[in-house]
């Protein structure tokens, strides 16, 4: 989600100037690049990293919400949350397969996630303490994801763009189910309203951080913009998100936890207070409240699922051998 | 043990249309790949029929040689109806 996927991406490439210029001309002509096309190594590496980290974000993102499936307040909410979390698993799989077309294997990507070389969105390192957090995740986190993912539908790399089109179609239900949870809570009892406000207080700033470092500090942005992997800068997307979301908070009767938030008629958008980038980097680097638990949960799933993967392969091989014998 | 094999997934949205490539996934065998394809690619009624094909079984042309590969079509303009001059008086043909 994930322009944060660019953290640590290395966009350098060593090809000849002619090759790079011809590649850039294709990009400038809005031609899509497909997996077997010639491409600069930097383009390939940047995409492997970004798509891989986007995939990891979808998969790790199942954990904070999964935490509430068994405790959803009604059967309707439970069915919806289950479907949403299942979609996120699907998004991860579309994205892993898009990354694999660039020559990385699924196992390599999984290992990089588990040993910390690959990152995932910082937002999933915060805990889900109440049911209102599930509302806030759908409304804000999926809302921010949509802002980020819509321009990715026009990304220059074909498989990534196609995966994003599928993902974006599915995301709008996610955001609506979250907002509907918030609506229900804010129209409920005092205690429910407080729960909704408390969740917004905790999720607002981390949601703004989802767009990644501010443009002034974002080292990898320029090359990614030139290659049309990215279409908008982090700050542009963050601004769009704030402008879309503040009126939604007002409709709910909730207060956005930013005393400096103010409408700026001149720029036709909101001004906001400073973002705590120290917190952002601390969480990205592993110091968030839930980093250790998230990776431990992924590692447990990977290790405890090993026998299932091995058994399925052994069974497939045995059956293939039997068919071969029968055919002789 | 090796990595679980990769499959390409093709879906036909409804009868009368062709199966269309939608993506890929891993599965130990065809049966598992098919059930994974249903879960991953048809959660909202996207299809009435699924094909899964081992990725390794696909032979693809090389984009680096696309010019030579598709060159024979470029100069054969006589394959197109507009190549032939028919007087307007003849009517639509
Ligand atoms: Fe998603
Ligand atoms: Fe996402
Ligand atoms: Fe989502």
* A316 to B29: CB separation less than 8 angstroms, yes or no: yes
Interface mutation target, options B40, B41, B47, B57, chain A, most CBs of A under 10 Å? B40
Q: Measured between CB atoms, does A37 come within 8 Å of chain B?
A: yes
- Report pLDDT for A325: 86
In this prediction, residue B1 has a pLDDT band, given cuts at 50, 70 and 90, of low
pLDDT tens, position by position, B20-34: 999 999 999 999 999
Whether the CB-CB separation of B8 and B24 falls below 8 Å is answered with: yes
- In the predicted model, is pLDDT for residue B66 greater than 80? yes
**Distance between CA A186 and CA A179 in Å, rounded?**
10
Residue B66 near chain A (CB below 8 Å): no
pLDDT in the model for residue A220: 66
Closest CA to A148 of A201, A209, A222: A209
Tokens 């996630």 correspond to A113
CATH class in words for B6-88: alpha beta
| Interval A13-46: pLDDT, tens | 568 999 999 999 999 999 999 998 999 999 999 9
3-class SS of residue A127? coil
Tens-digit pLDDT profile for residues A157-174: 999 999 999 999 999 899
- Where are chain B's structural domains? 6-88
H-assigned helices in chain A: 17-28, 41-60, 62-66, 75-100, 106-114, 131-136, 142-152, 158-186, 190-209, 221-226, 234-252, 277-282, 291-304, 306-327
Is B25–A312 a contact, with Cβ atoms under 8 angstroms apart?
Answer: no
Nearest to B1 among A98, A159, A313 (CB): A313
| DSSP letter assigned to residue B56 | G
pTM assigned to the model: 0.91
């Amino acid at each position: 989600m994930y322009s944060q996927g660019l953290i640590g991406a290395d966009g350098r490439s060593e090809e000849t100037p002619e090759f790079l210029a011809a590649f850039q001309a294709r990009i400038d002509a809005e031609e899509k690049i497909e997996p077997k096309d010639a491409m600069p190594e930097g383009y390939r590496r940047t995409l492997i990293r970004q798509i891989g980290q986007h995939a990891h974000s979808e998969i790790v993102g199942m954990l904070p919400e999964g935490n509430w499936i068994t405790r959803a307040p009604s059967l309707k909410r439970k069915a919806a949350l289950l479907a949403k979390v299942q979609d996120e698993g699907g998004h991860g799989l579309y994205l892993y397969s898009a990354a694999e077309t660039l020559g990385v294997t699924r196992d390599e990507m999984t290992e990089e996630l588990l040993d910390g070389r690959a990152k995932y969105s910082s937002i999933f390192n915060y805990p889900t303490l109440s049911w209102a957090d599930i509302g806030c995740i759908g409304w804000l986190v999926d809302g921010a994801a949509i802002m980020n993912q819509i321009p990715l539908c026009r990304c220059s790399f074909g498989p990534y763009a196609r995966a994003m089109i599928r993902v974006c179609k599915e995301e709008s239900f996610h955001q609506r189910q979250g907002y509907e949870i918030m609506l229900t809570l804010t129209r409920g009892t005092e205690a429910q309203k407080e729960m909704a406000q408390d969740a917004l207080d905790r999720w607002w700033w981390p949601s703004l951080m989802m767009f990644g470092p501010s443009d002034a500090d974002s080292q990898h942005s320029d090359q990614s913009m030139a290659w049309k992997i990215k279409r908008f800068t982090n700050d542009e997307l963050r601004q769009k998100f704030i402008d879309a979301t503040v009126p939604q908070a007002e409709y709910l009767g909730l207060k956005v936890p930013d005393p400096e938030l103010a409408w700026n008629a001149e720029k036709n958008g909101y001004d906001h207070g400073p973002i705590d980038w120290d917190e952002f980097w601390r969480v990205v680097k592993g110091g968030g409240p839930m980093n250790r638990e998230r990776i431990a949960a992924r590692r447990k799933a990977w290790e405890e699922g090993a026998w299932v993967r091995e058994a399925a392969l052994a069974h497939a091989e045995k059956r293939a051998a039997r068919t071969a014998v029968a055919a002789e | 043990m090796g990595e679980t094999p990769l499959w390409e997934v093709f879906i036909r949205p409804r009868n009368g249309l062709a199966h269309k490539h939608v993506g890929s996934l891993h599965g130990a065998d065809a049966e598992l790949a098919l059930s994974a394809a249903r879960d991953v690619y048809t959660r909202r009624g996207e299809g009435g029929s699924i094909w899964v094909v081992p990725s390794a079984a696909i032979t693809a042309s090389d984009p680096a040689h696309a010019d030579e590969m598709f060159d024979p079509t470029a100069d054969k303009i006589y394959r197109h109806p507009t190549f032939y001059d028919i007087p307007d008086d003849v009517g639509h043909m």
